[in-house]
A and B are shown apart, each in its own frame.
Chain A
Amino acid sequence: QKEVEQNSGPLSVPEGAIASLNCTYSDRGSQSFFWYRQYSGKSPELIMSIYSNGDKEDGRFTAQLNKASQYVSLLIRDSQPSDSATYLCAVNEGYSTLTFGKGTMLLVSP
């Protein structure tokens, strides 16, 4: 059973701080990794995707991948109250299906 593990949180950070969200996965053959944001009562929306070891930056978001350690993370710089949501880590599982973690709840206080 392929697994994607995330700390459920909540992770609480003050406005303007850096939020660090972490995810580990069990399948060494996984090739693509995604971070989705889900507001309460809404559907998930894609924030970042990463396929190669290292960092990928997009605005205030940075995804980091370490395939040797089977670890992927998401950094959110200058966190805003509007970033408060659950962040889902997802890993590909062949045929373009994804395995999702349970998500980490992020709370950004003003």
Chain B
Amino acid sequence: NAGVTQTPKFRILKIGQSMTLQCTQDMNHNYMYWYRQDPGMGLKLIYYSVGAGITDKGEVPNGYNVSRSTTEDFPLRLELAAPSQTSVYFCASSYGDWTGIGNTIYFGEGSWLTVV
């Protein structure tokens, strides 16, 4: 049971380039999330999905796109990379329910992205 798997772990991008961060979970969770964490800061929600085919914006969605074609996969697309997108990105998943009660979020190991 691998849990939440993210790739790549490290990446350096040039300004203006695009890339996709991959995320896969094998726990059959309906809910998936992308967070970013800047140094000394908490986690900020970028996008989330409550099931295949359904996505919604979080607190900081600008410059990113997501898709959810299957329950397992939730890739994050960075278009026209900017230095402000230098951060650590965490994918996460949870069984979830509308009240949040009992909602344990499981995180991937993180992807360190630097835009130069």
Contact = CB atoms under 8 A, between A and B. Distances in A.
Interface residues of B, number: 29
Given A95-B50, A97-B33, A102-B40, A43 B100 contact: no
Interface residues of A, number: 25
A32 B104 CA distance: 10
Contacts, number: 68
Contact of A44 (B40, B45, B96, B107): B107
A92 B42 contact: no
B30 to A, nearest CB: 9
A96 interface: yes
Given A43-B90, A43-B110, A95-B50, A32 B100 contact: yes
Contacts of B33: 97
A4 B48 contact: no
Contact of B101 (A31, A46, A88, A93): A31
14 contacts: A32-B101, A32-B103, A43-B107, A43-B109, A45-B107, A88-B43, A93-B100, A95-B96, A96-B50, A96-B96, A97-B48, A98-B45, A98-B103, A102-B41
